[in-house]
Amino acid sequence: CALVVDRAIGQHDLDLAAAYADDVIVLDSGRMVATGPADDVLTSNVVRDHFGVVGSFWTTQRRGFVWHGLENV
């Protein structure tokens, strides 16, 4: 018998979400705009288009997000 543990958290820190989430749901003004594996959903384009933040995601031993600045969108 395998033990399965699921957790749902609300997270506004993109670096932490990128580092520890296997799957993510991105909300914009209460609407779900993207969902799926973190590697597929947490992209620079999604973050820029929905939050006006310029940055890049990276992967080494864990995923992360680096802020480059804010856009006027």
pLDDT tens digits for range 17-73: 888 888 999 999 999 999 999 889 988 899 899 988 888 776 666 677 776 665 554
**Angstrom distances, CA of residue 5 to CA of 8, 26, 29, 30:** 10, 22, 29, 26
Give strand ranges (E) for the chain: 23-28, 31-37, 53-59, 63-70
Q: Give me the residues paired with residue 32 across strands.
A: 27
Q: Which two tokens stand for residue 23?
A: 């799957």
Question: 36 or 16: which carries more pLDDT confidence?
Answer: 36
Instruction: Supply the pLDDT for residue 28.
Output: 93
